[in-house]
Structure 1
Amino acid sequence: MYQRILVATDGSTLSKKAVLSAIDLAATCGAELIALKVVPRYPQAYFEGSIPLSPEDVARVEKQWDESAKVQLASVLKKATAKAVSAKAITVKSDVVSDAIIAAAKKHKADLIVMASHGRKGIKRLLLGSETYQVLTHSHTPVLVLR
């Protein structure tokens, strides 16, 4: 049914549930699992008059983000291995999470994208955005959304 399943994780509790579901689905289908973590390119200041970060601080923050991503993805790989699922982990740097997920699915020839959705509505969705919604509406790869 599926050969490659891409699961996007942000480390949240809801995202961890989506990871477990993706691993179970991959085990059932005999599919390879691709665990994806998107990290920002660099810290951004959104307020005029904010204090810009020094290059050393930017490097330190980016290193922390990379290390955090490695820890999260290592956890996914460990869980996949425990269920005898072939898995690989990838970290992508991008300021637009949804575009990075779609591009990774295309690049790695995923048959399915698995993501969690917080189910925000109204003003919360407007202010906080919805990466899942963007992937769902712009991806040519099928998307399984879990809550």
Structure 2
Amino acid sequence: MYQRILVTTDGSKLSKKAVSSAIALAALSSAELIALKVVPRYPQSYFEGAIALQASEVARVEKQWADDAQAVVDAVSKSASAKGVTCKAVVVKSDVVSDAVLATVKKHQCDLIVMASHGRRGIKRLLLGSETQQVLTHANVPVLVLK
């Protein structure tokens, strides 16, 4: 059915539900799983543009984000392995989550995306649209959205 399934995660309760479903589906399909966590490219201060962050602080924050993200995808990989599913853990830096998801789908030749339905709320959702909505709109492969 599926050869390679991409699952996005941020470590939240809802994304863990998507991960569990993706692992189960991958096991049923004998598919490989790609676990993706997207981290921002650059930390911004509260007063964006008004207070510059020191290079050492930027490096510290970026390392912390990368380490935390790696821990999240490694946990997915460990859970997948316990179910007999091959999993590749991927961390990507991007300020636009949907673009990173779609680029990863293309790079790894995934034929299904599994992701949680959470996203922006309120006026930001109206103006920008949620990341999930962007993936649904622009993906060239099926998208399974869990809520």
TM range (shorter): over 0.9
Q: Which runs of 5+ in 1 are unaligned?
A: none
SS, match of residue 123 in structure 2: helix
CA offsets per residue over residues 16-51 of structure 1, 9 Å max, x none?
110000000000000000000111111124745631
Is the Cα contact below 8 Å between 2:119 and 2:132 reproduced in 1? Answer: no
* Cα RMSD (Å): 1.9
- Following the alignment from structure 1 to structure 2, what is the Cα–Cα distance between the partners of residues 94 and 49? 19
Other-structure match for 1:145 = 145
Alignment of 1:133 onto 2:133: yes
Name the aligned partner's letter for residue 23 of structure 2.
I
Name the aligned partner's letter for residue 103 of structure 1.
A
Alignment of 1:68 onto 2:107: no
Equivalenced residues, count: 147
- Following the alignment from structure 2 to structure 1, what is the Cα–Cα distance between the partners of residues 109 and 48? 41
Query: Relative to structure 2, which stretch is displaced further, 36-45 or 54-63?
Result: 36-45
- Following the alignment from structure 2 to structure 1, what is the Cα–Cα distance between the partners of residues 43 and 119? 27
Alignment of 1:83 onto 2:83: yes
Name the aligned partner's letter for residue 56 of structure 1.
S
SS, match of residue 114 in structure 2: strand
Please list, as runs of the form range in 1=range in 2, the aligned pairs for 1:1-147 lying within 5 A after superposition. 1-45=1-45, 47=47, 50-118=50-118, 123=123, 125-126=125-126, 129-147=129-147
Instruction: State the shift of 1:116 in Å.
Output: 0.2
Give structure 1 regions of 4+ aligned residues with deviation exceeding 6 angstroms.
Answer: none
- Following the alignment from structure 1 to structure 2, what is the Cα–Cα distance between the partners of residues 47 and 53? 10
Instruction: State the shift of 1:74 in Å.
Output: 1.1
How does the TM-score come out when normalised to structure 1? 0.92
SS, match of residue 110 in structure 1: coil
- Following the alignment from structure 2 to structure 1, what is the Cα–Cα distance between the partners of residues 72 and 124? 26
Name the CA shift for 1:51/1:2 in 2 (closer, same or farther; >3 Å): same
CA offsets per residue over residues 105-133 of structure 1, 9 Å max, x none?
01100000000012766536237841100
How does the TM-score come out when normalised to structure 2? 0.92
- Following the alignment from structure 1 to structure 2, what is the Cα–Cα distance between the partners of residues 121 and 40? 19
- Following the alignment from structure 1 to structure 2, what is the Cα–Cα distance between the partners of residues 119 and 101? 14
Name the aligned partner's letter for residue 77 of structure 2.
L
Percent of aligned positions with the same letter in both sequences?
71
- Following the alignment from structure 1 to structure 2, what is the Cα–Cα distance between the partners of residues 141 and 45? 37
